[in-house]
Amino acid sequence: MTNKNSRRSHDAFFRWLFADKNHLRALLKLCAKQKPEIAEFLKAINLNSLERIPDSYSEVDETGEADLAFRVKAAKGHPTVVGILLEHKSGSDKFVFAQISRYVNKVMKLQNDLVDVMPTRAFIFYNGKGPWDPFKLLRKNYSDYFFKPVLPFQCHFIDMKMISDEDCIGCDDVVTAMGVTAMKYAFNRKKLLAILPKFQKALTQIPYDEAKNLLEKISVYLKEYLGESILKELDMAFVSIGQKYGFVSAGDVFRQRLAAGKAEALAEGISKGLSKGLSKGRKEGRAKEKISLAKGFLKEGIPIKTIAKVTGLTIDEIKAL
């Protein structure tokens, strides 16, 4: 199962991204917009029942083979369980069907007396530089009559360049959308930099840590294709994009929001405690307590207006501390 590309970071990126069943759901829906047969398949299954099959077939972790396997229930009728297998390729591979066949026989097992392998739908995702049709060699060697029974599974081939930019930009899952875009344009720096800023608004809607992790993963992924020198240029472009559109600097926005939220909560909590204590103390004690509290707030970097509101001190009094 191991090949010379098995430890490449492009596989690690694909695996990291679509091991998450929420991202996989978004990916399949994007593909369904381009291929009616995939849309038909999605109607036949319950996407909410996706369950990842453990990686017993993979020899290593995230840096290993990109194959991902899931089981999913049928949408209606008998309580059928079918398999979904994902394979990522960044170059042509004439042995891809043999590879998937081994995975299906090893992973897609059923424990019943009728069959031992669940019906499986395989998806080959390709983002290579040149054109590739994995079915071409099969059609060359097998007539139409024998072509369908050749494979022990049904298979879809998705050239990721065919997933439209508009569909990605309109996707509710910005992590999936940006990941697909990075894969689509891994060989097209200009196009990549033209499209990525269009996700800036959606990027600001997800948690800062998640956004930061996504950008780091994309950078590592693109490094393999663009090289060190071009990656440095790309990193500089990310910074300029952030300054202009708020793309990378979205993280600063999240930090500011988080800090503001903590400051408000801290001020509110202390204010409540202070009001109880002040009612028991004398006027002089209250004044000292306000000053002490204000000094503490200043050290924490809380805005002067917020301090004045909480303590009752004037802005000039606070500035004089």
What's the confidence (pLDDT) of residue 303? 79
Examine the pLDDT at 64 and tell me if it is beyond 50. Answer: no
The mean pLDDT value of the chain amounts to: 77
pLDDT tier at 199, thresholds 50, 70, 90: confident
Percent of the chain with pLDDT over 90: 31
Mean pLDDT calculated for residue range 242-254: 45
User: Each residue of 76-111: pLDDT tens digit?
Assistant: 777 788 999 999 998 899 999 998 988 888 888 876
The per-residue pLDDT for range 121-171, each reduced to its tens digit, is 999 999 998 899 999 988 888 887 887 778 888 999 999 999 999 999 999
Give residue 251's pLDDT band: very low, low, confident or very high (50, 70, 90): very low
What percentage of the chain has pLDDT greater than the value 70? 72
Name the least confident of 25-29, 100-104, 159-163, 275-279.
Answer: 275-279
Distances (CA, A) of 235 to 58, 60, 158, 174, 228: 33, 30, 29, 20, 10
pLDDT of residue 267: 53
In SS3 terms, 164-192 reads as CHHHHHCCCCHHHHHHHHHHHCCCCHHHH
- Higher pLDDT: 66 or 189? It is 189
pLDDT at 214: 85
Handedness of CA 67, 180, 205, 297 (dihedral sign): positive
- Cα 24 to Cα 47: distance, rounded to the nearest angstrom: 9
Query: What pLDDT was estimated at residue 207?
Result: 83
**Helix H or strand E encompassing 89:** strand 81-89
The residues near 169 (Cβ < 8 Å, ≥ 6 apart) are 177, 195, 198, 199
Q: Can you list the pairs that 219-228 forms with residues at least 24 positions away whose Cβ atoms lie under 8 Å? A: 220/9, 220/13, 221/9, 221/10, 221/12, 221/13, 221/182, 221/183, 221/186, 222/182, 222/186, 222/192, 223/9, 224/8, 224/9, 224/10, 225/10, 225/186, 225/187, 226/186, 226/189
Q: Where do the domains of the chain lie?
A: 1-163, 260-319
pLDDT score of 258 more than 80: no
In this prediction, residue 181 has a pLDDT band, given cuts at 50, 70 and 90, of very high
Instruction: Identify the weakest region by mean pLDDT among 63-72, 96-105, 168-177.
Output: 63-72
- Whole-number pLDDT of residue 140: 87
Collapsing DSSP states into helix, strand and coil, what is residue 46?
coil
| Helices 208-245 & 250-278 angle (0-180, nearest 10) | 120
The pLDDT value given to residue 205: 82
Assigned token pair, 112: 């019943």
For residues 2-18, average pLDDT: 64
Which of residues 170 and 65 earns the better pLDDT score? 170
